[in-house]
Amino acid sequence: MAKIFSSLIVSAFIIICRLDAFAVDAAKNDSLAEITVQSTLAEISDYRPGYLYMLVRNRSDSTLIIDSVTVAEYPKFLRLRPAYPGCSDSDMSFITRKHSKLPYPFITPVQKNETRIYGVYVEAPDQVLPGEHELLFNVHYHGYRAEKTVSGSIPVSQKIKASAYGENQILGALQNGITFLMIPGVIVLIVTGIIFSLFFPEIYKEKYPEWLKGEKALNLQFMVSAITVSLIFAGFIYPLLAPLTGNGKRNYLYGYGFIDIYQMWLFAVVTGIAIPLFWKLGTALLNYLKHQKSEQDYRKAFRDSDSPMAFLKKILDSDPESKAWFPVLTIQSTMLKGFLIEKDTEKKQELWLIPPINVVWQTDADDLNNEFSRYRNDKNASLDDILKVLERGTVEPSERKGVKSLEWKTVNGYIEKPSKIQKGAFGTPKAPESLFYSKFSEDE
């Protein structure tokens, strides 16, 4: 019984499958139209549009009416419109995602055994997404069979290959192991190496590794560097520079065309030239800043040939908060004293000491002298206040009311000129004192 039951189930399954196949064949045979697609559009690229043609053959015994031809699916980088004799770009607009019906003005009944041709113009106006893509159309129709209205639709598809115009021709020589995404880095490194070898001094050429010059393109270090530069180029440099050409925002990671290949190559060459130039300019600027700092440090440095006014200004430059009174140090070898004018730090092995400063006023400089004396006798007075009084006296000595001279004063027990002394050559600093002496001129 079990064997008989199993045989019945298998037989029923076979009958059902045959009925389904018969139904499918019947549906196919019941179609009033036969549609085929013909095209030479094996590959499409920007700057190279193409055409494909749908051939609709009436298989019925009566008139067949084509209701519409719609584009069910197509890549977003493509544009499609109807194509027929006498049609121009100004006559027809391209379809959109919302309005995907191809408007043919001559849709008329297709007579028995007649074939009607519907052309489609296809173009990639800008960037393409390289690879194989599929166009899917749906042809809606109705006709008559056995005096009854029969309607339906037939989907047809066409595969096309998309590529950027000129990609194979321009980049073909570099296709052995080098992809489009790697090319910017390869160009940048090679151009940079050429600039270094042609225009830079030998001392700079030695700092540029040989493997970066592209002499061995399969060198692992070169390839890693090229890929790194290419990723930076694709993600940041190209999207940043592309709008400068007036072609709008572009990013070839999402698709590219001939203009992207052209701009990528141009930008890569420019970047390769710019890197060594900016490096050289940066080096020159750094050297200039170092030179300026050296000069500034030299101008700020104390020298034993400096005048008292120069010393006072440099003290204030090094310490804007400096007071007018300074600690007194005694040099152990000579037992001569001097005023310590700079802060003692661990880095300093020597310290500057200066003798007292004598200010000689003109005979009628009572006001300035009084102001100066007030600051000189105040141990909390700032050096800046005293310096301002002295500068007024030296800048405006008219009517004998200014400073006649500012000089180092020879005082018994003190050094006679500024000196730089080793830190271990003097004893413990004594309490701060005023380093200024003041008197009126006796010659006027």
Whether 418 and 309 have beta carbons less than 8 Å apart is answered as: no
CA atoms of 303 and 424, how far apart (whole Å): 21
Query: Could you tell me if 62 and 155 lie in one domain?
Result: yes
Query: How does residue 340 score in pLDDT terms, banded at 50, 70 and 90?
Result: very high
Name the percent of the chain lying above pLDDT 70: 81
For residue 9, tell me if it sits in a domain. Answer: no
Residue bearing the bigger pLDDT, 92 or 44 = 44
Residue bearing the bigger pLDDT, 274 or 218 = 274
Query: Could you tell me if 322 and 429 lie in one domain?
Result: yes
Query: Could you tell me if 142 and 177 lie in one domain?
Result: no
Angle between helices 183-199 and 258-300 (to 10 degrees): 50
* Count of the separate structural domains present in the chain: 3
What's the confidence (pLDDT) of residue 200? 66
pLDDT tens, 356-397?
999 999 988 888 899 999 999 999 999 999 999 998 888 766
Query: Could you tell me if 33 and 157 lie in one domain?
Result: yes
What's the confidence (pLDDT) of residue 144? 83
For residue 35, tell me if it sits in a domain. Answer: yes
From 118, 146, 162, the end of a domain falls on: 162
- Name the nearest CA neighbour of 438 among 407, 415, 417, 397: 407
Query: Could you tell me if 33 and 154 lie in one domain?
Result: yes
Asked if pLDDT for residue 96 goes beyond 90, the answer is: no
Q: State the average pLDDT over residues 13-22.
A: 40
Buried b (16+ CB within 10 A) or exposed e, 34-68: ebebebebeebbbeebbebbbebebebeebbbbee
CATH code (residue 99): 2.60.40.10
From 261, 277, 293, the end of a domain falls on: 277
What's the confidence (pLDDT) of residue 412? 92
Q: State the average pLDDT over residues 11-21.
A: 42
Query: Could you tell me if 76 and 152 lie in one domain?
Result: yes
Asked if pLDDT for residue 202 goes beyond 70, the answer is: no
Query: Could you tell me if 139 and 173 lie in one domain?
Result: no
In the chain the first and final C-alpha atoms are separated, in Å, by: 150
What's the confidence (pLDDT) of residue 25? 38
Q: Give Cα separations from 300 to 278, 303, 306, 319, 420 (angstroms).
A: 32, 9, 11, 11, 15
Asked if pLDDT for residue 43 goes beyond 90, the answer is: no
Whether 66 and 140 have beta carbons less than 8 Å apart is answered as: yes
Whether 342 and 316 have beta carbons less than 8 Å apart is answered as: no
| Element at 33 (helix H, strand E) | strand 33-39
What's the pTM?
0.44
From 147, 162, 177, the end of a domain falls on: 162
For residue 8, tell me if it sits in a domain. Answer: no
Query: Could you tell me if 93 and 180 lie in one domain?
Result: no
pLDDT tens, 166-196?
565 555 544 444 566 678 888 888 888 777 7
Q: How many other CB atoms sit within 10 Å of the CB of residue 28?
A: 9
Q: State the average pLDDT over residues 89-109.
A: 79
Q: Which domain holds residue 436?
A: 308-440
Q: Which of 44-48, 73-77, 375-379, 386-390 has the lowest mean pLDDT?
A: 44-48
What's the confidence (pLDDT) of residue 370? 92
For residue 19, tell me if it sits in a domain. Answer: no
For residue 290, tell me if it sits in a domain. Answer: no
For residue 435, tell me if it sits in a domain. Answer: yes
Q: Give Cα separations from 15 to 18, 22, 29, 267, 431 (angstroms).
A: 5, 10, 21, 69, 121
Tell me whether residue 101 is exposed, middle or buried, using C-beta atoms within 10 angstroms of its C-beta: 0 to 12, 13 to 18, 19 or more. middle
For residue 21, tell me if it sits in a domain. Answer: no
What's the confidence (pLDDT) of residue 371? 92
Q: Give Cα separations from 223 to 132, 177, 193, 308 (angstroms).
A: 29, 10, 15, 65
Name the percent of the chain lying above pLDDT 90: 20
For residue 389, tell me if it sits in a domain. Answer: yes
Q: Return the SS3 of 357.
A: strand
Query: Could you tell me if 400 and 431 lie in one domain?
Result: yes
Query: Could you tell me if 328 and 431 lie in one domain?
Result: yes
Asked if pLDDT for residue 87 goes beyond 80, the answer is: no
Query: How does residue 130 score in pLDDT terms, banded at 50, 70 and 90?
Result: confident
Query: How does residue 88 score in pLDDT terms, banded at 50, 70 and 90?
Result: low
Query: Could you tell me if 43 and 158 lie in one domain?
Result: yes
* Single-letter amino acid, residue 280: K
Query: Could you tell me if 99 and 127 lie in one domain?
Result: yes
